[in-house]
Amino acid sequence: MHTKRSQVSVISLAVLLVSNALLAIPEVSVASQYAVVSAVKKVGPAVVNIDTVSYPKRTNSVFDMFPWFFGRPEPVQGQGSGWIYDGQNGYIVTNDHVVERADEITVTLPNKQQYVGRVIGRDRLSDVAVIKIDAKNLPSLKLHNGSPPEIGSWAIAIGNPFGLQNTVTVGVVSATGREFETSDGRRIEDAIQTDAAINPGNSGGPLCNIDGEVIGMNTLIRVDSQGLGFAISADTLRKIIPELIKNGRVIRPWVGFVYVDFTPRLARQLGMDYVEGVIIQIYRGSCAQQAGLQSGDVIVEAAGKVIKTSDELKNVIKTLKVGDKLPLVVVRGEKKIKLSLTVGEMPS
């Protein structure tokens, strides 16, 4: 009898706890839902659909010479998303891979108005492009200005997957500061990882926080996984977009060589004496060659700092601008040589 009473008490307590939890959940859920709805209402009017057409280039092959026999190649159509960065001047931001081969660009606003778009600037490395339409007084989105979004905070992805305008998916910021290389060789740095669903056609659309600010731009998904999408960070966009509008490209400093850690194992493979530092390979005709550097040189000092790892050299290089002088000390054979490199501009 005592056992039955205990069981009843435990069951009653469990029911009471579950009831209280169920009562609490709608309040949190409704508040969260309202915040998401509010953010989407703010962002949605500035998210656009981008349709592209690419015409196959002539190759002077037998297929081009006898089109009446082989038939003419069909134009390639593409689709992506974008968002209005500057509504007063008609500037729209999207991914470079959305427009890189486009011969024709059509921008469709949420109100179904269509405009011809033209590329103002592209940057393949960061996968960012700016296009312009002849329109004014359009709604614009605001880039988040501040520290990276907190892990676990809301992430709202808006875009036009498969041509379905203003599709909204919601998740969280899974990680920040991610670095990865895409299948076509672009190296994306400082990316945001999110589990908000990103589908084909979402590329170029904004990833927003609960306040309707752009924290990133959706760029790709991992096709071999679920819930793993990436966005170019607002911090990167803030640096890249103005340069694309002003110059049509991003002017990056370039030292004219690639480098890796010089390890004892690598030294044995190359038949060299080991010294702690970073071994380089130069590009022919580059500022590195002009400075007197040679492939196989081991950098042991840069800008007055001792260099033991490639990360240490990377931290020095990333502070440089085009035209800066970079003092170096390298080991070549049994000699230590001092050189001065004038930083060049990275070739397109």
Q: Per the residue annotation, which of 51, 96, 123, 127 is the catalytic one?
A: 127
State whether residue 64 is helix, strand or coil.
helix
Q: How confident is the model at residue 322, as a pLDDT? A: 94
Instruction: Based on the residue annotation, tell me whether 203 is a catalytic residue of this protein.
Output: yes
> Is 13 part of a structural domain of the chain?
no
Within 8 A by CB and 6+ apart from 342, the residues are 287, 290, 291, 323, 324, 325, 326
Q: How confident is the model at residue 21, as a pLDDT? A: 38
Q: Of the residues 132, 166, 187, which one is the last residue of a structural domain?
A: 132
> Is 273 part of a structural domain of the chain?
yes
What is the Cα–Cα distance from 92 to 125, expressed in whole angstroms?
A: 19
What is the Cα–Cα distance from 71 to 37, expressed in whole angstroms?
A: 50
pLDDT band at 20 (very low <50, low <70, confident <90, very high): very low
Q: How confident is the model at residue 193, as a pLDDT? A: 93
Task: For 235-294, write each residue's pLDDT tens digit.
Answer: 999 999 999 999 999 999 999 999 999 999 999 999 999 999 999 999 999 999 999 999
Co-location of 219 and 159 in the same domain: yes
Q: How confident is the model at residue 208, as a pLDDT? A: 95
Instruction: Give yes or no for residue 1 having a pLDDT over 50.
Output: no
Instruction: Based on the residue annotation, tell me whether 144 is a catalytic residue of this protein.
Output: no
> Is 277 part of a structural domain of the chain?
yes
Q: Indicate which CATH number applies to the domain containing 107.
A: 2.40.10.10
> Is 7 part of a structural domain of the chain?
no
Looking at the DSSP bridge assignments, the partners of residue 80 are 50
Co-location of 261 and 204 in the same domain: no
CB 88 within 8 A of CB 137: yes
> Is 29 part of a structural domain of the chain?
no
Co-location of 179 and 109 in the same domain: no
Summary mean pLDDT of the chain? 85
Number of domains the chain contains = 3
Q: Per the residue annotation, which of 51, 81, 96, 97 is the catalytic one?
A: 97
pLDDT band at 70 (very low <50, low <70, confident <90, very high): low
Co-location of 257 and 339 in the same domain: yes
Q: How confident is the model at residue 118, as a pLDDT? A: 97
What is the Cα–Cα distance from 272 to 264, expressed in whole angstroms?
A: 9
DSSP conformation class of 143: B
Instruction: Give yes or no for residue 25 having a pLDDT over 60.
Output: no
Co-location of 98 and 61 in the same domain: yes
Co-location of 240 and 258 in the same domain: no
Please state the rounded mean pLDDT for residues 187-195. Answer: 89
Please state the rounded mean pLDDT for residues 93-102. Answer: 94
pLDDT band at 46 (very low <50, low <70, confident <90, very high): very high
> Is 317 part of a structural domain of the chain?
yes
Q: Indicate which CATH number applies to the domain containing 309.
A: 2.30.42.10
Report how far Cα 6 is from the mean position of its chain's Cα atoms. Answer: 59
Q: Which of 8-12, 137-141, 144-148, 278-282 has the lowest mean pLDDT?
A: 8-12
Q: Per the residue annotation, which of 81, 203, 233, 310 is the catalytic one?
A: 203
279 is in which domain, residue-wise? 253-345
- Nearest CA-CA partner of 127 in 299, 9, 268, 250: 250
Q: Which of 23-37, 220-234, 328-342 has the lowest mean pLDDT?
A: 23-37
Structure tokens at 342: 């004038």
Q: How many CB atoms lie within 10 A of CB 298?
A: 22
Q: Of the residues 209, 224, 245, which one is the last residue of a structural domain?
A: 245
Q: How many CB atoms lie within 10 A of CB 311?
A: 10
Of residues 103 and 73, the one with the higher pLDDT is 103
> Is 297 part of a structural domain of the chain?
yes
Task: For 115-135, write each residue's pLDDT tens digit.
Answer: 999 999 999 989 999 999 999
Q: How confident is the model at residue 211, as a pLDDT? A: 93
> Is 10 part of a structural domain of the chain?
no
Please state the rounded mean pLDDT for residues 295-306. Answer: 97
Co-location of 279 and 320 in the same domain: yes
Q: Of the residues 222, 245, 268, which one is the last residue of a structural domain?
A: 245
Please state the rounded mean pLDDT for residues 158-183. Answer: 82
pLDDT band at 341 (very low <50, low <70, confident <90, very high): very high
Instruction: Give yes or no for residue 74 having a pLDDT over 70.
Output: yes
Q: How confident is the model at residue 196, as a pLDDT? A: 87
> Which long-range CB contacts under 8 A does 148-153 form with residues at least 24 apart?
148/176, 148/177, 148/192, 148/233, 148/235, 149/173, 149/176, 149/192, 149/209, 149/215, 151/175, 151/176, 153/209, 153/210
Instruction: Based on the residue annotation, tell me whether 127 is a catalytic residue of this protein.
Output: yes
Strand segments (E) across 195-247? 206-208, 214-221, 229-233
DSSP H helices in the chain:
2-43, 62-65, 67-70, 96-99, 234-247, 264-270, 287-290, 310-317
Q: How confident is the model at residue 68, as a pLDDT? A: 55
